[in-house]
Copies of this chain bind each other. A is one copy, B any other.
Amino acid sequence: MKPRQTRQLGAVYDVVHAAHDHPTAEEVHARVRRRMPRVSLGTVYRNLQKLATQQRLRVVHLADRTARYDGMLQEHDHFVCERCGEVTDLVRKRSAPPDCATLDRAGYGIRAHALTFYGTCPGCGKAMTHRRAPSRTRRA
């Protein structure tokens, strides 16, 4: 099970990392096709999944059921414009997450925000026997 460096994989990686607009899989496919017209959508999906597993890109589920792909790997948040549909990266200053007041001052009209944490709940954390308490919590 030795991974191979294929042209398709490289192209998908390049497209996602060159993009700043959080493209969907179909958008990535279209862009890859500009240079490599025969790539299939299935291959693009397989490579996106592989890169996500390797932490070489991020999958974001924002407002609908369509996954979007993000080459920015550092911790950051998102702004979704409900009017034009654009997704903006909000780079997070150390231990100072973006807040409504700051964004408002920058010209954004915030209607709502959703904060979701991922990890292990108290019950599952207790059940972990062969591990010490999870002290390696990633912070803002």
Contacts and interface: CB of A to CB of B under 8 A. Distances in A.
Interface stretch (A35-43, A45-53, A102-110): A102-110
Interface string A126-138: 1110011111111
Contact of A80 (B90, B98, B117, B131): B117
Interface string A78-114: 1111111110101000000111110110111111111
Nearest to A31: B140
A65 interface: yes
Nearest to A77: B115
8 contacts: A27-B140, A77-B115, A80-B116, A83-B120, A98-B117, A104-B137, A109-B119, A112-B119
